[in-house]
Structure 1
Amino acid sequence: MYTIPIRYCKVVPLLPALVIFGLMAILTGIVSCKTSEKAYVIGFINPNPGEKEGAQGFLRHMQKLGYIEGKNVTYIKNETNDLKRIEEALKTMLAKKVDLIFAMTTPATKMAAQYTQGAGIPVVAVLYNAIGTGVVGSLTKPGGNLTGVQLRGSTPKALEWLSAIAPGSKHIFVPVCFDTGAAKQSLTELEQSAATAGFKLTIAEVKTVDDLRATMTSIPKDIDAVFLVHSWLVGANINIVLDKAKERKFPTISAGHVNYDDGLLLSYGPLDDRIGSQAARLTHTILHGTSPAELPMETSEFSFGINLKTAQSIGLEIPNDILQQAAFISR
């Protein structure tokens, strides 16, 4: 008879082993996710680099949403108003198969839409009037590969605030340089809104800074307010306008582009940072799988701002009930 030796084995409890195995799998998955995080390439077209409107706000808010330049996003930037260079930049963007193109202004938007047609590259645009310029046929259903933010719509309310703050203002002076499509579009909106509200307009076209200086020196005597439309030259030299307005003691207003914090008495319109925030949010949504055709074209958010220093400089007292309605007050 043989005795079979019995070997004793150490038994490892099953549950702890499974827990350890599971943790290793989770950690491996986390490392895998981090290393496989998608790096995006975005085309960035801003024909007016000297202006802050929208473009810099877009970059700031993209970073807030987790898109860190040089880490998980690369921008191919074109910051010139030379249409040939914009065209060359768009060709480069298409060749590199960018994930999305961000475009400022109507001309840049139209070019981006033309070059990306059929290429499957989405476009997020910031422009003054998406419908009136034919960029999209519908705000709610833009279709195609383009959506974004349009800036128009605040002029009628801006004139209402002028009437509330300075009810004696009836004749408005408008210096304008037609250096962008938005200049003509915003002037047209002002003309229509002023006619409805009973304001008289005197429009003075300028082409240079010297023109602007001479124009502000020779303002007609019966002018009692100045309205600034979307004109880059005028906005960039706003101090010329403000100095003469203070000298003549009349209010300065706008419906965007330049604002109360630039020294105007009041503004009612889009603010740069909010425009950028809207465009960045749309971009984030598209990069995560939503088709731009499914995203309505947004109208920029409008804010009412008052500059009390400017009011004091022209001897104007703002009623408390109006101050309470302002979203922003510069003291």
Structure 2
Amino acid sequence: MLVRRRNFLAGALGLPFVRLSLAHAQSTAKPIEIGFVYEGIGAASIPRAKAFQEGLRSKGYEEGRNITTVIRNGESHPDQFEPLVRELVQRDVKVLFAVGPAMTRLAKAATPTIPIVALDLESDPIKAGLVQSITRPGGNLTGMFFDFPDFAKKWLQLLSEAVPGLARPAMLWDPATGKYQADAVSEEARSRGLSLQVLPVRSPADFEPAFANGVDAKADAMLVLSSPLFGTNPKLIADLAIQRRLPAITFYPEFARVGGLLAYGTNLIDLFFQAGVLVAKILDGERPATLPVERPSRFQLVVNLKTAALLGVTMPTSILLRADEVIE
């Protein structure tokens, strides 16, 4: 009994030391590296990365304490995308967060083992071969996708309401995003009897010539599709639309807030936060193969009446009553 009691006391006295040692080890362990690869410009990635990190922190993963986000920006130059993805894969990050359709495809091709969380608002993940199904992706990739072709109808419907007699809309399209949304808009335009002009844009330097081409072709409105290229340059596009006197609509609410006429889409900052939560689930041990793909569930209609006045557009009551935000 004496020996047993001494062993018990020694073990009991050692417990605080063991716990202290574990806590010390955790506090001094190297933070987990998470890759963050973004197609757009660095300045635009700052608030997005912050929201992503907030999502992680809501689940106990704090930047600088137990995680480190390794951020790489493509600066809207497609030739830089593949080397950035390759760098993060070679670095063997714990999870790779890929933003945009091009980065998502490159990440999927670059590694069959590193877990990937995608934020791709321009692809159908099943048709693109990125996942096997929405509920069970089945591979090393899951994420946030926006595969709602019916949204094209909403954009054209709103433009038609705002611009009575709409006949010749133009459409800014980034070929790097693929043809999924562009085909949906083209089909809807045909069903409405509209003559749609497609304007491919590959970099910010193409914006002004594209608008000029639209005006030369007698465009009476502009629809700007979803793309990281457009989402990171809302002010530039809004200013060009006003200069060219083209009523314009896009997916990004920020577009209307910085001077565009109309926006109908989702809050990107919310999506980046949710992507951070998805990454945290993987860090907690869940597998992308069984983590269902998520989609935006909240959408905002933002109307800028200041811009409407500048363009001579009388915004109909039908739009104003549905608007979530009206800028006067």
TM-score, normalised with respect to structure 2: 0.76
Letter matched to residue 270 of structure 1: T
CA contact (8 A) 2:32 2:68 kept: yes
Distance 1:247 1:114 in 2: 42
Q: Taking structure 1 as reference, are residues 51 and 137 closer, same or farther at Cα in structure 2, changes over 3 Å only? A: farther
Alignment pair present for 1:125 and 2:122: no
In the other structure, the counterpart of 2:269 is 273
In the other structure, the counterpart of 2:65 is 71
Alignment pair present for 1:186 and 2:176: no
Q: Name whichever of 46-55 and 304-313 sits farther off.
A: 46-55
* Selected match of 1:159 from 156, 173, 176: 156
RMSD: 3.5
Q: Name whichever of 102-111 and 75-84 sits farther off.
A: 75-84
Return the structure number with greater helix share: 2
Distance 1:113 1:47 in 2: 15
Distance 2:89 2:204 in 1: 35
TM-score, normalised with respect to structure 1: 0.75
Counterparts of 1:20-39 in structure 2 under 5 Å? Answer: 36=26, 39=31
* Higher alpha-carbon Rg: 1
Q: Structure 1 vs Structure 2: percent identity of aligned residues?
A: 28
* Selected match of 1:296 from 292, 300, 317: 292
Secondary structure of 2:188 counterpart: helix
Q: Taking structure 1 as reference, are residues 294 and 321 closer, same or farther at Cα in structure 2, changes over 3 Å only? A: same
Counterparts of 1:107-256 in structure 2 under 5 Å? Answer: 107-117=102-112, 119=113, 121-127=114-120, 128-129=122-123, 130-153=125-148, 154-178=151-175, 180-182=176-178, 184-206=179-201, 212-217=207-212, 219-220=215-216, 222-230=218-226, 242-243=238-239, 245-246=241-242, 249-256=245-252
Secondary structure of 2:264 counterpart: strand
Secondary structure of 2:55 counterpart: helix
Deviations 1:167-221 (A, max 9, x none): 322320124453x235x44322321232234432012345666654344345147
Distance 1:100 1:157 in 2: 35
CA contact (8 A) 1:122 1:146 kept: yes
Q: Name whichever of 190-199 and 265-274 sits farther off.
A: 190-199
CA contact (8 A) 2:253 2:264 kept: no
Residue 252 (structure 1) shift: 0.6
CA contact (8 A) 1:55 1:104 kept: no
Residue 284 (structure 1) shift: 2.0
Q: Taking structure 1 as reference, are residues 51 and 142 closer, same or farther at Cα in structure 2, changes over 3 Å only? A: farther
Residue 84 (structure 1) shift: 4.7
Deviations 1:100-156 (A, max 9, x none): 111112232233223431x3x321011121233221232222111210011342322
Residue 269 (structure 1) shift: 1.8
Letter matched to residue 75 of structure 1: T
Q: Taking structure 1 as reference, are residues 274 and 192 closer, same or farther at Cα in structure 2, changes over 3 Å only? A: farther
> Structure 1: where are the runs of 5+ without partners?
1-21
Q: Taking structure 1 as reference, are residues 255 and 196 closer, same or farther at Cα in structure 2, changes over 3 Å only? A: farther
Residue 274 (structure 1) shift: 1.8
CA contact (8 A) 2:34 2:96 kept: yes
Secondary structure of 2:91 counterpart: helix
Letter matched to residue 118 of structure 2: A
* Selected match of 1:41 from 30, 33, 37: 33
* Selected match of 1:58 from 52, 62, 68: 52
> Structure 2: where are the runs of 5+ without partners?
1-11
